[in-house]
Amino acid sequence: MLIDGKRTLSCLTLLATLEDKHVLTIEGVATGDQLHPLQQAFIDHDALQCGYCTPGQILSGIACIEEGRATDAASVRDWMSGNLCRCGAYPNIVAAILETAGKQ
Amino acid sequence: MEMTDAPSMIGRPLARLDGRAKVTGAARYAAEFAPPGMLHGFLVDATVATGRVAALDARTALASPGVHAVIWHGNAPRLPWNEPVSPEFTRPDGARLRAFADDRVRFVGQPIAVVVADTIEQAHFAASLINVTYAEQRDPVVDFTEASAAATLRRDDTTARGDPDAAFAASDAQVDCSTVIARETHSPLESHVTIAHWQQGKLRLWDKSQWVSNVARVLAGDFGLEPGDVEVISPYVGGAFGSGGRVWPHTEIAAIAARELDRPVKIELTRRQMFNLVGHRPYTEQRVRLGANSDGLLTAILHDGAAETSRHERFSEGLLRPTRMLYGCADVATSYIVVPRDTSTPTYMRAPGEASGLFALETAMDELAWQLRLDPVELRLRNDPTHDLHSNLPFSSRSLAACLRQGAETFGWSKRRLEPGSWIEDGEQVGYGVAVATYPANYVRASARVRLSANGSATVESATSDMGPGTYTSLAQVAADALGLPVEAIAVEIGRSALPNTPPHGGSMTMASVGSAVLAACNAVKQKLAQITGTEHAPAKLVPAPEDSLVEQLRRAGLAQIEADGHSNPGDTAKRFSMHAFGAVFVEVRVDRELGLVRIPRIHGAYGVGRVVNPRLTRSQCTGGMIGGVGMALFEASELDRASGRVINADLAEYLIPTQADIGELTVAFVEETDPHVNPLGVKGVGEIAVCGAAPAIANAVWHATGKRLRDLPIRLEALLERRM
Amino acid sequence: MQPFAFVRADDEESARAALRQGARALAGGTSLVDLLRLQVEQAPALVDLGKLPFRSIEQAGGVLRIGALATLSDIAGNPLIQHAAPSLAQAVLASASPQLRNAATIGGNLLQRTRCAYFRDTGFERCNKRKPGSGCAALDGDDRGHAVLGVSDHCIAAHASDAAVALTAFDATVRLRGTAGERSVAIADLLRLPGDTPWLEHTLAPDELIVAVELPLGDVLRRSAYRKLRDRASYAFALVSAAVGLVIEDGLVREARVALGGVGTVPWRAHAVEDALVGRPATQSSVSQAAQRAADGAVAGTQNGFKVELARRTVRRVLLQLAEDTAWK
């Protein structure tokens, strides 16, 4: 999830510490029916298989782009290495993030 | 495929139909269901590996806030534990663990009690307050060599043709290669979870499963119910890779607890529990001896495998299957023993057996190639057989040579020098490695139901699952193609045991089996409609005019909908053909020899897998499998504490799987392959073969880079630091 | 996890009051919450330090002062640190993942507890850190990841921090404030060797807070680097890491700093390497010779012996790279 725009692990965050903070989860990424460009890019590049890590990948990817780290494949790989994917969608995740970053 | 036909839906690289649900968080996994009044169960694990539970003091736990019950063998109901109406063939021989049915401890981590509370935190905390007294403990047997004293021979896997010992002794070239592969754990990112809910004597389960039909049958047997009285729901599966193939005790415990408390109960395993309670790829030790003549023709193959199992179940897998049929060699022997340790039972993990067996065989082949000073691709081409020498059957199709040739071409294999350790770029040693991949084209009985509506939509129903390969999408493509409808008009419903019965969603058999059942159901719908409209004998046009479409016919017949079941029908195909998928995997590694670091900048896989229903999704599955192979080659090992049998590194910070930063360029090619025999769709499945060749190709590339032959997986930096070759 | 009370500290005094009553200090929570969930740690109460004004990073005279609540991301992204203390910037970047670095603080990072599997799993009976006097299961167990320096017969658990290695190399001090007043201690005096009391890991008084880390600026810190070796390319703890600084003038080594991670029960300063370098020519052979001293005094177990040689090679590699970058141009 993003806390005040920064990617953070929900499993290590106590809710009580989040007073007055802005929290974004996958449910809030799209605007109505309009998908966020990275969500659409994940579909287009097949950047998911079982889908279980996908919310984390997308939020982390949004932050990665925001942080200015989505400059090339090597940088994305490094800055997305905290999001494990057991199905192995990694190359397609890189493609989705680079495409989205390139459009901005 | 006929190119003149209507544009086929099969073969199109469509986007995943469930993609939107998955990128928005709308896809609901088993743990996300919450029937009203649901309680949470937390399993109490045995902290010893042997003996029995003499006493369990739950007084403090029961007094802890929110706690409703502590259930263990001392107070658990006695269940009938009947066998299911059709066998759970994912379960190995032996005596399965029956939750709380006795006081025996079989392995560390075995659930010996469950604490049920209002919240997961309360249950977890209360579980820590339980005092267990064990009795009759002995030192567990964990060490593999020590455990080997009690090994049993798997007779079915112990085969011989010709006189391999004599042939080996007489060979011009001989290789004797012993390998070790660490225990691996599936580690899907989603934890295993079951929510059990009883209503009027009927049981509903939300369960992470690759085989909901089986879960319903097994639970019905356990509780003495009719199979129809248990419903299992699992619409999305967050990865499983085999861990969801059989019923594990936590599922039965959730049902026991829910019945005792008359409230829905959810049990979700912790990551640590996932290392003990849902299986693993067994630790294996293998020895492969290869003999060849000076022309590089194999004269003998002897492959001996030894794999761990538990004390209470004898798990075995297809470890030696590839060896028996992969190469043209008249004199072949295989033997297989399973070695019981006081630990939990292994289970199928992606490419079970084949991935491990091929590592040993393909490492030995690489060693043989060097001994003969032959290119490793050439060695394999020279030994490509005309038919399956083990079964004596023709191959339904076999594209290994094409995979090797085309793969080598695409990869740029010709740049490779024969000598190992001779290629340095930018201060790193460079190596190319190749290995062959193969997996059986499994095709079994499966059922599906198709309902065509006059509003122009159709529904496909089948109990199968989609743990990631894209079953939702590919089944829709099959139906759209058969019914002449756009894919968007097809609704696919899977993951419910009440739907038509299917085999496990695994073993690369889903597309072949369930896909063929969907095709059969579509054909049955058409036939039914033709009977109604009396056009049964009308010649079918390749491209029906719009007014002749099935939906139009349905409307004209005044019907709102028409429904039919279909079944895949394997018949005797397997008796007439040897059916396998083949592939060749090419790897480049770069090694920093001084520091022992291995990088894998690229992997290329060429596969002959019959017809590819959806190239986009199939590619994803293949690259995902390669990444699994990278984990097997370089990272994955569930380490056991020798004294206690506990898994030491039972979390994802210490059990290492590949991260994004470990993966370079991955490319996939499918060689043109038409197989008219294998099943009506002509597909072979790719889930398993994608894992198969990667690990040996990586190890072979490391040898080529460094000259150091590493036969134990995972390959870790200290193995490369050693100076001795 | 055990039920606990949650208090938010609005100022230092309320934090100290909570600490005096037995609360555990919660900063980023990346280590503590994990261990609470594993039931390795138990706390009757947590006091959230998040609102305390300890987050700024500033230069004062010749000292870089990093507030204890600065996150690892704050540090990695700070231009002053990137320029004046590359070894530290690289060390924090090599830590964990972006998500964890956004939460983890430098104060918490120094005090993070070991990754020893026998410590982290309450199913193991023996762990002197978890249960004083119970013994050490790692001594006769799986010790591949364990320390070879600073070990005792009671504990061989490695210290897991990357940042602390860089801070140790460059003589950082830690600013502490408690009821008794304010004091500064070197990292080596903050973190205790296991000895025969492995459960005592630091020298903080019960109500003392780390308020800042202070790092003396200078040439050797500016000409520094950090290298971390691990089993995979990212998101893993160090097998061996090295923080190294090197100043060469007229072909002679004027200053050298070397500290190691992954090999010590605390971040390990390799004074022997420094002594072998300073005043001598910065040649490939003298650097290689000096690097041989990296793990002097190491005591290896059954599986972690490779760390000794790996430490030497890592130190040599970083020294040679720094020498190439600075002196030979």
Predicted TM-score (pTM) of the model is 0.97
Interface ipTM above 0.95:
yes
Chains that touch C (3 or more CB pairs under 8 A): A, B
Q: Cα B539 from chain centroid?
A: 43
Interface residues from chain C to B (CB-CB < 8 Å): 1-3, 39, 115, 117-118, 120-124, 137, 140-142, 145, 229, 231-237, 239, 306, 309-310, 313-314, 317
Residues of C in contact with B658 (CB under 8 A): 232
Evaluate the CA torsion angle B162, B165, B166, B172 in order and state its sign: positive
Active-site choice (B285, B354, B688, B722): B688
The ranges of chain C with pLDDT < 70 are 326-329
From CA B107, how far away is CA B151, in angstroms rounded?
A: 18
Tracing tokens 């099959």 back to the chain, one arrives at B478
Nearest to C26 by CA among A1, A16, B119, A5: A16
Supply the range of the domain harboring residue A71.
2-103
Domains of chain C are 5-50 (3.30.43.10), 222-326 (3.30.390.50)
pLDDT value of position C53: 96
pLDDT value of position C310: 98
Residues of B in contact with A27 (CB under 8 A): 24-25
CA distance, residue B468 to nearest chain A CA (Å):
4
pLDDT value of position B535: 77
Size of interface B-C (CB pairs under 8 A): 87
Which residue spans of chain B are classified as CATH 3.90.1170.50?
33-138+189-239+244-277
Beta bridge partner(s), residue B265: B39, B196
Beta bridge partner(s), residue C272: none
Q: Which residue of B has its CA nearest to C240?
A: B595
CA distance, residue A46 to nearest chain C CA (Å):
24
Indicate the residue type of B412: G
Partner-chain residue, chosen from B15, B23, B628, that has the shortest CB–CB distance to A88:
B628
DSSP percent split of chain B into helix, strand, coil, nearest 5: 30, 25, 45
Beta bridge partner(s), residue B246: none
Q: Per the structure, how many domains does chain A have?
A: 1
Query: Which pair of structure tokens corresponds to residue C326?
Result: 């600075």
pLDDT value of position C64: 98
pLDDT value of position B5: 52
Classify domain B347-359+371-441+575-721 by CATH number.
3.30.365.10
To the nearest whole number, what is the mean pLDDT of chain B? 96
Indicate the residue type of C236: A
Reply yes or no on whether B688 is catalytic. Answer: yes
Residues of C in contact with A78 (CB under 8 A): 234
**pLDDT for B364-380, tens place per residue?**
999 999 999 999 999 99
Which CATH number covers residue A87? Answer: 1.10.150.120
The answer to whether the Cβ–Cβ distance between C137 and B643 falls below 8 Å is yes
Q: Is B37 left (phi over 0), alpha (psi -120 to 50) or beta?
A: left
CA distance, residue B13 to nearest chain A CA (Å):
10
pLDDT value of position C275: 98
Interface residues from chain A to B (CB-CB < 8 Å): 25-27, 29-30, 35, 39-40, 42-44, 46, 48-55, 58, 76-78, 80-94
Q: What's the fold here for domain B19-27+444-569?
A: Aldehyde Oxidoreductase; domain 4 (3.30.365)
The ranges of chain B with pLDDT < 50 are 1-4, 724-725
Give the Å distances, CA to CA, from C56 to B235, B252, C66, C75. 49, 54, 6, 10
Tracing tokens 């609360």 back to the chain, one arrives at C23
From CA B473, how far away is CA B479, in angstroms rounded?
A: 10
All residues at 6 or more sequence positions from B211 whose CB lies less than 8 Å from its CB, including other chains = B90, B244, B245, B246, B465, B502, B503, B504, B505, B506
Query: Pairing between strand C63-67 and A6-7?
Result: unpaired
Partner-chain residue, chosen from A46, A76, A86, that has the shortest CB–CB distance to B187:
A86
Partner-chain residue, chosen from A12, A79, A84, that has the shortest CB–CB distance to C29:
A12
From CA B291, how far away is CA B294, in angstroms rounded?
A: 10
* Best residue of C42, C124, C143, C240 to probe chain B, by most B CBs closer than 10 Å: C124
pLDDT value of position B541: 54
What would the DSSP string read from start to end of B703-720? HHHHS----EES--HHHH
Are B652 and B616 contacting, i.e. CB atoms less than 8 angstroms apart?
no
| Tens digit of each residue's pLDDT, chain A (104 residues) | 999 999 999 999 999 999 999 999 999 999 999 999 999 999 999 999 999 999 999 999 999 999 999 999 999 999 999 999 999 999 999 999 999 999 87
Task: Give percent of chain B with pLDDT exceeding 90.
Answer: 95
Indicate the residue type of B622: C
The answer to whether the Cβ–Cβ distance between A9 and C103 falls below 8 Å is yes
Partner-chain residue, chosen from B21, B23, B468, that has the shortest CB–CB distance to A87:
B468
Which residue spans of chain B are classified as CATH 3.30.365.10?
19-27+444-569, 347-359+371-441+575-721
Chains that touch A (3 or more CB pairs under 8 A): B, C
Residues of C in contact with A60 (CB under 8 A): 98-99
**pLDDT for B191-233, tens place per residue?**
999 999 999 999 999 999 999 999 999 999 999 999 899 999 9
Q: Provide the 10 A C-beta neighbour count for residue C281.
A: 14
Size of interface A-B (CB pairs under 8 A): 121
CATH architecture of the domain B33-138+189-239+244-277 equals Alpha-Beta Complex (3.90)
Q: Provide the 10 A C-beta neighbour count for residue C205.
A: 12
